[in-house]
Structure 1
Amino acid sequence: MPKVVFFDLFSAPLPYLALKDSLEKNGIEFEIISLAKEVNRGIPMSSSKYTAVSVRRSVYEIERKIERIRPQLSGTTMFGITFYDYELAHRLLVPVSRLIKEKFPEIPLVGGGPAFNSNPRGYYVDGRLDYAFRGEAEKGLPALVRALAAGNREMLGSVPGLIWRRGNELVVPSRPFILPLEEVKKSRFIYTRSKNGRVMTYMERGCPYACLFCSVMRRGKPVPLEDDEIIAGLLHLARDHEIKGVQFTDDNLFYDKERACRLFARIINQGLHKRFKFTSMATVNSFLTEGKDGKMHVDVGFMEFIKKANVTAIRLGTEMLDDNILRELKRAPYTAVQAIKVNDALRSAGIEVGNFMLAGGIETRAVDFLRSYYNATAKNVRHRGFYYPLTMIRGYRDSPLYRKAAREGALLSEWGDAISGPQAVGTEPHYIAPKQAELRTFFARHLAGGKDQFSTQDLEDVAAFAKTVAGHDPGIPPLERKMRKLIGIRKARENDLRARELYLFGRLTHAILDSKGIEFNNANVNRLISDPDFLMKTIPLLNEYAKKHQQLSRNIEKLKGRARLQAIKKLRDTTSFGMHFQRL
């Protein structure tokens, strides 16, 4: 029996399970080998920071594991690896792909995944692959295995979505292959399970939007799995009492509101909302509805309904909080104000919200970028929302935005250098650069410093940039003044947090010395805090406790009257730390 082995580097086996079904139906054995632990030894998954040294460490650990399990890999017909097109994946997947080919030169190596929609030639060549698939591979992979087993290369031309070499010619399909609608609808409910009692699954494929920065392969109305299959799958999961949550990985779960309401109504009727917490991703316009006045309004009723179904967290593809950037990149049918209102309304409904953000595109002006950055950062600083850092757009080579940027010379390298034109081969990250000279230089300087995101930590740097371009647009000086105010709020809170930590640290050391019958004085305190074990155990706990206390304090500030006094008393009774509220 032919055997296909896929290596999973990022603990993301969900895409492989659809392949597993397809291969096993065709009499082909399938195995997934996780390399996530080896990756984690070099690059912790909890961190976005990595270096060339940490990448090499991960590759070294992967090489050691492959050598350990080499006997287990005997009889393998084909190796496979999924390529993603974000920067870390590029840094890690290309050398790992080369390593596998070096260790097993006689066994065909096949690639697949999103990277082959955006840059098929580059990843094929850099990864030293024998074959790759552009698009969905459930039909093509079994056909490839059969063709190779038969020793008939003439059959390769009919394998859907296949990238391969015909002599010196690299054959690349002009479009990603997508499965027929009916086959997607009839797909089986699949899921992967994590150690924290949560499973990941999906309920549809496709995206109805045409964002310029995206290279999604299946455009158009999302194709859903059948409702009966989804409900049956969730009922199956409900039998396992260790599973507490279900994460839907769909980007557009709520795009079709009628279908979403129908499905979540069945979830409620089956009592599954009492069994699981549900999380998902969504777009802003999924939570807008047209009112009687012909204008778009926040659909509060829909939010309350999905909250009733126990949807507890949503990640929104907000992307920008400036109307000009929204029109340029998303052709969005909503405004920045509406996006903010959706975020606020979801939070009011009791749903945790995280907003994905982008820095801007080719036509973005300094005032556009600063407005979007300020709107997101103000929400973060004032704790009225959570917006991820504004990320510079990676130029996926098959996206309309990349092609436009290449024509107009609006590309930057990962170190901020200008890219002269389009590159058909290669997987090095390219970033979209604004045409406005001052903003372009600011982006380039940020990249040269090793960062491709603008977070709350960059507030002072962004405010300084705003000051240098204040004369370019009358809208910039007010934004700079508002950012200076945010800097003051942040510093005040940081000072407050440090004061809390020092106070708690003093109380803790006093209690420890007192319990041991030791006098509380400077000499004895210095001896205690010079113990590394004491510091290692107490500092993280104190920091966490101080942050929790700061959050409780902020909650109290929102209260009035008797409720406020009762909350202050409770805080003081439980922590002996609330005296500063007496003067409020």
Structure 2
Amino acid sequence: MNNEGTKMKKILLVQPNMKVATSGQRIVYPPIGIMYLASVLEKKGYEVEILDCQTEGLDKGAEVIDGYVEVGIPIDEIAGRITASRPDLVGITCNFSVMVPHMMEASRLVKKLFPSVPVVAGGNHPTSLPEEVMGEGAIDYVIMGEGEISFPRLIEAIVEGKGFESVPGLVWRRDGAIIKNKTGALIHDLDSLPYPAWHLFPYEKYSRHYKPRAVTWGEAQAMPSVLTTRGCAGGCVFCSVHKTMGSKFRARKLDDVFKEIRFLVDTYKIKKLMIIDDNFTHNKNRAKEFCDEFKRQGLDIELHFMVLALWCMDEELIDKLKSIGCASMGFAIESGVQDILTNVVKKPLKLVRAMELLKYARSQGIHLTGTFVIGFPGETKRDIRRSLYMANYSGLFDSREIYIATPLPGSALFEQCVREGLLAEGFSYSKVEVVKPNIKTKDFSPDFITTILEADRTHHLIKTNPRRTLRLVRDVWRRRREHFLPVLYETSKMFVKYDFLKIREVYP
């Protein structure tokens, strides 16, 4: 498109609606990515507005369609917000493939209301499949990878009508052909970035409706997120975060991190804080220094870690985290079978050592959540049951979450599934959901994964609240009628067989 001579004053950044499976969790986190981008643009003199449809829709009713719940606001309300904003350019983030239909819907809406306004897409999905995203026609540009440097340079190129070739990570059109620029270098000086634009985020609404998932987190309360590092060298086969954040670990200086935390405490009177790094513990010494500085600052807030890499931890670090008020830790275990972890998931985690650290953390009174992923190509039904045994009967976790191996675009798992023809029949990016099966193998079908996941859910709920047994059986009949008998069969096996499995058989 030709916008030469266009004046760019008002930028609208959008996080679109998202569908989640009814068996999943309706959780919304602040869109830190576009909040960082908003701050960068404001610093360069642009007027910026954020439309976070997911947070704005927290007080909306949830309509269930085909097993999914939509989190967000009605399309006519989105249209009204875009019209009122009167933007000169719109940026839309799409970190999860399940958001693709909503990203496309929002982009078409912008073009209907303001045909000449450029639309830019970014996030994990557009970064992984930029040509496909551009093929829709309603999106004019894609920024691959981190956007804080490329996005402002794209705006300058649009205004000047030239220089698109020099914008790193830009995907654009020239004479109808899609051009894909080379991705630029990662941002190594993270301290050069301004803090996320919390003043543009609907914090008041978020704080009213946010409901933490861990039972020990207490009453519903807002929990702002802080990102202290970027990048993860873990290399897990199902992960696509390296597409946007890279595999190289990059850390902010602790002085800068604590200035941001102090800002959140002073401005929003926060009592709890979530650290959302992909691998906070990659540099063990830095993690320990973080704890020392936290204590020195005398901060009276409760800390939660979305996920910590066990293979980078030791007992001393756990002690330090406990001493500064760490209330909960999430650990991505993935599998209870070492061979699957090493040769299939490609995760550098040793289960024997992991169990030692988990037991130690439990002894310190920290709420532990374990996440497991089932349904990988190369896994057998027995491997899956062994993972579920660890999740349910190892005594290592206060809560656990079971997800399905999902071929996210940009991940090695996606490439394998495409290469080997393992994508389930009817595969669609709009339904790439971590609680819905999308992979078929010689060892199991998508139906088996659906059945075993439903059985695990039923087993877990009955085990934690036996009085709900009849109600849960009725719910299975209503939601999974075609799988009713297999689910009951697998559930009964979990109660009878799992109790007699020997721990040494699961963790050789």
Q: Give secondary structure in 1 for the equivalent of 2:447.
A: helix
Q: How many residues align?
A: 436
1:169: Cα distance to partner? 1.6
1:81: Cα distance to partner? 1.1
Aligned-partner Cα distance in 2 for 1:304–1:119: 43
The CA deviation string for residues 372-427 of structure 1, in whole angstroms up to 9 with x for no partner, is 12221325xx79531102x22221233222222222121114xxx5x6xxx9xx65
Q: Would you say the 8 A contact 1:118–1:396 is kept in 2? A: no
Please name the residue that 2:48 is paired with. 30
Aligned-partner Cα distance in 1 for 2:40–2:178: 26
Please name the residue that 1:386 is paired with. 399
Aligned-partner Cα distance in 2 for 1:158–1:342: 48
1:171 pairs with 2:179: yes
Please name the residue that 1:511 is paired with. none
1:309: Cα distance to partner? 1.4
Q: Would you say the 8 A contact 1:23–1:30 is kept in 2? A: yes
1:335 pairs with 2:350: yes
User: Which of 203, 210, 222 lines up with 2:235 in the alignment?
Assistant: 210
User: Which of 114, 117, 127 lines up with 2:124 in the alignment?
Assistant: 114
Q: 1:113 to 1:127 in 2, by over 3 A?
A: farther
Please name the residue that 1:67 is paired with. 80
Query: Counterpart amino acid of 2:384?
Result: F
Alignment of 1:240-259 (within 5 A): 240=267, 242-259=269-286
Q: Would you say the 8 A contact 1:200–1:247 is kept in 2? A: yes
1:396 pairs with 2:408: yes
Please name the residue that 1:429 is paired with. 432
1:50: Cα distance to partner? 5.2
1:482: Cα distance to partner? 5.8
Alignment of 1:34-183 (within 5 A): 34-36=52-54, 39-40=57-58, 44=62, 51=66, 55=70, 61-67=74-80, 70=83, 72-74=84-86, 76-87=87-98, 89-126=99-136, 128-150=138-160, 152=161, 154-173=162-181, 176-182=183-189
Q: Give secondary structure in 2 for the equivalent of 1:163.
A: strand
1:330: Cα distance to partner? 3.3
Q: Give secondary structure in 1 for the equivalent of 2:224.
A: strand
Q: Would you say the 8 A contact 1:313–1:352 is kept in 2? A: yes
TM-score for both structures, normalised by structure 2: 0.76
1:284 pairs with 2:284: no
Alignment of 1:515-554 (within 5 A): none
Q: Would you say the 8 A contact 1:365–1:434 is kept in 2? A: no
Q: 1:69 to 1:165 in 2, by over 3 A?
A: closer
Q: 1:329 to 1:86 in 2, by over 3 A?
A: farther
Aligned-partner Cα distance in 2 for 1:187–1:37: 24
Aligned-partner Cα distance in 2 for 1:54–1:308: 40
User: RCO (CA 8 Å, sep 6+): is it higher in 1 or 2?
Assistant: 2
Q: 1:484 to 1:79 in 2, by over 3 A?
A: same
Please name the residue that 1:362 is paired with. 377
Aligned-partner Cα distance in 1 for 2:226–2:37: 15
Query: Counterpart amino acid of 2:95?
Result: Y
Q: 1:208 to 1:11 in 2, by over 3 A?
A: closer
Q: Give secondary structure in 2 for the equivalent of 1:375.
A: helix
Runs of at least 5 residues in structure 1 that lack an aligned partner in the other structure: 288-298, 469-478, 489-584
The CA deviation string for residues 484-513 of structure 1, in whole angstroms up to 9 with x for no partner, is 25699xxxxxxxxxxxxxxxxxxxxxxxxx
Of structures 1 and 2, the larger Rg is shown by 1
1:244: Cα distance to partner? 0.6
Query: Counterpart amino acid of 1:358?
Result: V
Percentage of pairs with the same residue = 22
1:467: Cα distance to partner? 8.3
Q: 1:368 to 1:43 in 2, by over 3 A?
A: farther
The CA deviation string for residues 429-467 of structure 1, in whole angstroms up to 9 with x for no partner, is 395535334x2x2x23555x8x97774326798996898
1:82: Cα distance to partner? 0.5
Alignment of 1:445-456 (within 5 A): 446=449, 455-456=456-457
1:187 pairs with 2:193: yes
Aligned-partner Cα distance in 1 for 2:249–2:484: 39
Runs of at least 5 residues in structure 2 that lack an aligned partner in the other structure: 1-7, 17-27, 208-220, 461-472, 474-482, 501-508
Aligned-partner Cα distance in 2 for 1:453–1:90: 26
Aligned-partner Cα distance in 2 for 1:384–1:58: 32
1:411 pairs with 2:414: no
